[in-house]
Amino acid sequence: MLRYFTIRQSIGIMLVAVFLFTSAIISAYLVYDRYTSSKQQLSNELIQTVRSGAQQQFAIYFSDKEVLLQSIDNLLKHSSVEYAAVYDRLGTIITSRTREESKELPTDFSQIRTDFSTLDVTQIERESPISGGNVIEMSAPIFSPVNPYQKNISRNTFGAQLANARNQGAQNVLGYYVIGVSTEALRGNVYGYAAKVAAVCFVLFLVVIYLTLMVTHKITAPLANLAQLADDIADGKLDNTFKTQGSGEARRIAGMLNLVLSDLSSHKAKMDVESQLLNMKVDERTEQLSRRNQELNQAVQQVTQAKDRMRKLAYYDSLTSLPNRQLFTEQLELLLKISKREKSNIALLFLDLDNFKRINDSLGHTAGDMLLREVGARLSNCVRESDLISQYFDGESKIDVSRLGGDEFTVVLNKLDEAKTAGVVAERLLESLQAPMLIEGHEIVITPSIGIAIAPQDATSVKDLLKRADTAMYHAKTSGKNSFSFYSSAMKGTSVGRLKLEADLRRAVERQEMTLYFQPQVNIETGEISGAEALIRWNHPEHGLVSPARFIPLAEEMGLIVQIGAWTLLEACRQCKAFHDKGLKLPKVAVNVSSLQFNAAFIELVKQVLIESQLEPKLLELELTEGVIMSNAKASIQALHELKSLGCTLSVDDFGTGYSSLSYLSRFPLDELKIDRSFVVDYDKSDNNASLVSAIIAMGKSLNLRMVAEGVDDIAQFHFLREQGIQIIQGYLFSQPVPSDEFALLMADAPFKQQIDDMMKD
């Protein structure tokens, strides 16, 4: 059918195109001829009007404007005339008139007729000085037999000369008529004629289309039947026969095609039978293959699942389902190669959870595992919510968040645009862990320390990049924890020094490098020493005394704080017993208890120390921070009662910096509250600070607790605390921490009574 319509349309389009082309040429010729004849007819009519009669000659010769204006008005009656003017023989304008009275014609005849000598009528198409459109400007000379150069000719004489010379040819030019005919008006007169021609052509066009359709249909009808028959054969319809009218080649072709159709029909019937038999065999084989394929798919699925499980065990952490160290190392090595080729940056964020060991020791490993799972989920959602870590291995394994082991996690940022973007992600990671986690009924807030290293500027291998990020992480941890740090070359020496310090700290207790200093607690009413706080110091063989602020956090991270704490407790009790054996009656010795020490085993340790040192239990005071006893308040109450039953006294250190509940404090078997140094130092910064110290003291007294102010360094603080009712003060105002032998001299000399009397006089 497509071929039939194409032939039919081609014939029709060809005939229509020929007719349209012929009609266009004839129409254009007729319209143009009408326009030309109209223009010539108007020109002849106007020239005949201005040259008719002797009255025009009289008016031009005697410059009779009234007569000339009447003549011009007759010219303007033609709709195509836009303006007219009369000039004398010298080109000076006599009079003129236009359709727009506000506009005038140029008076200089040279702008209109450049050649004065010509005697012919001129027609020039130019821009109209009146309307701005195009006009055909006709310039017609007016002839007279009278010599225009004669002077003082009267009208009668002029008329007589005209009468005498009537039969003679006109030889003299009296003046000129200039007439402007609008070309647009001329064309407008032809538009009606053009419309009639177009209408006739359109009618003829419709007739031609009709005749064309009739002719092409008659010519192409047999071809249409052939095309339909071809479509039927292609569709397998062999029952139809080819029918056509007339005689000739079409009828002979029809007979041949019908014979072919008959043969094809019989052959098709035979093929249908064979095809049916073949289909039955194929269906049988297909069913067999389907069963075999189903069995094979089940086997493949089992193998794939087993492979996935093996991959998962090999490449994913079983606790958090995050990529493990093996997958992290392989994928990061690949990413480093790609970044080297594409010259892009990769950021590695190394996270270590602060004080995670304390949670394991306090709540057990089950709670620790639950916390690690929650941390992994928060980090994954924080880095990319739309790309959670997959549970099974595939070719596109992501290592956005990985767990290397323990409480160490890594975050990889690929194709980093700039380094500060890693800092933005690190801040988001810190923020994601700020919300408390509910673990076995306990609200726990865990903070991370994050180290950031950038490849390739910091390192180009997995090993070195991980080492740089780990170094930066330790720098963040030593800078206060719950923060992040970018790696810099300056940290390399710090990292090496830290490793050496860790190694030295492990051997410090064995080498007896630890020593105790004592800081007195002074009763400002009597000037006597009411107790002492035992403070550990590390006498390093190379660096001298190492500050506790430097090695205590390191000992907690390394897990040595329990061993160091046990040594401190035993040594403090032995020294206190030694003071008493020398006759120096120290009322009590206070020992700080780390959060990692305070567990069920600590109570047994206190029992053994008291037995081994033979110190009276009432002389031992155990100092615990608010955070330690409030981390698990119910368990702390039981443990504190057990310690109290041993005869020891209990003190809350750094009171005011935590979030103690007053109801819990009243249930704790406490003996003493120590006001944190920060409140003492800042008491005079504002009225609120001073009021806060007063409130803490009042609360402690309401609970019948002994109040101790630590960190008192100047006389103003002394007077303020004394006015608030504080009796026991500890600080540099009286003495800094000193070795045991110097502390023995302080107890023997009792120098604080005189010092207090002197301060009271100031």
Could you report the per-residue pLDDT of 505-532, keeping only the tens digit for each?
888 877 888 899 999 999 999 999 999 9
CA distance 593 to 620: 12
Structural domain count of the chain: 3
The two structure tokens encoding residue 220: 């192409």
Do 422 and 540 fall within a single domain?
Answer: no
Do 545 and 685 fall within a single domain?
Answer: yes
Measured between alpha carbons, how far is residue 174 from residues 51, 65, 144 in Å? 11, 15, 6
> What b/e sequence results for 33-60 when a residue is b if at least 16 CB atoms lie within 10 Å of its CB, and e otherwise?
ebbeebbeebbeebeebbbeeeebbbbb
Is there a domain that residue 746 lies in? yes
Is there a domain that residue 747 lies in? yes
User: What pLDDT, on the 0 to 100 scale, is given for residue 172?
Assistant: 77
Interstrand relation of 134-144 and 172-182 (parallel, antiparallel or unpaired): antiparallel
Do 584 and 688 fall within a single domain?
Answer: yes
**The domain that contains 393 carries what CATH number?**
3.30.70.270
In tens, the pLDDT along 634-652 reads 788 888 999 999 999 999 8
pLDDT band at 391 (very low <50, low <70, confident <90, very high): very low
> Global pTM?
0.45
**The domain that contains 130 carries what CATH number?**
3.30.450.20
Do 398 and 356 fall within a single domain?
Answer: yes
User: What pLDDT, on the 0 to 100 scale, is given for residue 293?
Assistant: 87
* Alpha-carbon dihedral sign for residues 584, 585, 587, 593: positive
User: What pLDDT, on the 0 to 100 scale, is given for residue 685?
Assistant: 72
Q: Which of 71-85, 327-341, 735-749 has the lowest mean pLDDT?
A: 71-85
Place of tokens 């538009």: 191
Is there a domain that residue 159 lies in? yes
Is there a domain that residue 40 lies in? yes
Is there a domain that residue 285 lies in? no
Q: In what order do the strands lie in the sheet with 448-455?
A: 401-405, 408-416, 345-353, 448-455, 484-486
Q: What average pLDDT score do residues 746-751 get?
A: 86
pLDDT of residue 135 exceeding 60: yes
Do 133 and 41 fall within a single domain?
Answer: yes
Q: What average pLDDT score do residues 226-251 get?
A: 62
In tens, the pLDDT along 147-187 reads 777 766 777 777 777 777 655 555 678 788 888 888 887 77
DSSP notation for 93-121: EEEEEESSTT----SBGGGT-S-TT--S-
Do 556 and 465 fall within a single domain?
Answer: no
Nearest C-alpha neighbor of 444 from the set 494, 527, 374: 374
CA distance 621 to 591: 6
Do 549 and 650 fall within a single domain?
Answer: yes
Rg (CA), the chain: 60
Q: What percent of the chain has pLDDT over 90?
A: 21
Q: In this structure, what DSSP letter does residue 619 have?
A: G
State which of 456, 488, 520 marks the end of a domain: 488
User: What pLDDT, on the 0 to 100 scale, is given for residue 107?
Assistant: 60
Interstrand relation of 529-540 and 93-98 (parallel, antiparallel or unpaired): unpaired
> What b/e sequence results for 727-761 when a residue is b if at least 16 CB atoms lie within 10 Å of its CB, and e otherwise?
bbbbbebbbebbebeebbebbeeeebeebbeeeee
Please state, as a whole number, how many other Cβ atoms lie within 10 Å of the Cβ of residue 597: 24
Q: Is 246 left (phi over 0), alpha (psi -120 to 50) or beta?
A: left
In tens, the pLDDT along 532-572 reads 999 999 888 887 888 787 788 778 777 788 888 999 999 99
User: What pLDDT, on the 0 to 100 scale, is given for residue 388?
Assistant: 33
HEC-encoded secondary structure of 301-316: HHHHHHHHHHHHHHHE
**The domain that contains 745 carries what CATH number?**
3.20.20.450
User: What pLDDT, on the 0 to 100 scale, is given for residue 385?
Assistant: 45
State which of 155, 189, 223 marks the end of a domain: 189
Task: Give the structural domain span for 349.
Answer: 320-488
Is there a domain that residue 542 lies in? yes
More confident residue, 121 or 714: 714
In tens, the pLDDT along 595-620 reads 778 888 899 999 999 999 999 999 99
User: What pLDDT, on the 0 to 100 scale, is given for residue 445?
Assistant: 86
Is there a domain that residue 262 lies in? no
Do 30 and 152 fall within a single domain?
Answer: yes
The two structure tokens encoding residue 421: 């973007």
Do 433 and 570 fall within a single domain?
Answer: no
Is there a domain that residue 312 lies in? no
Do 534 and 605 fall within a single domain?
Answer: yes
Please state, as a whole number, how many other Cβ atoms lie within 10 Å of the Cβ of residue 280: 10
User: What pLDDT, on the 0 to 100 scale, is given for residue 508?
Assistant: 81
Do 184 and 39 fall within a single domain?
Answer: yes
State which of 455, 488, 521 marks the end of a domain: 488
Measured between alpha carbons, how far is residue 322 from residues 353, 436, 702 in Å? 16, 22, 52
Do 711 and 607 fall within a single domain?
Answer: yes
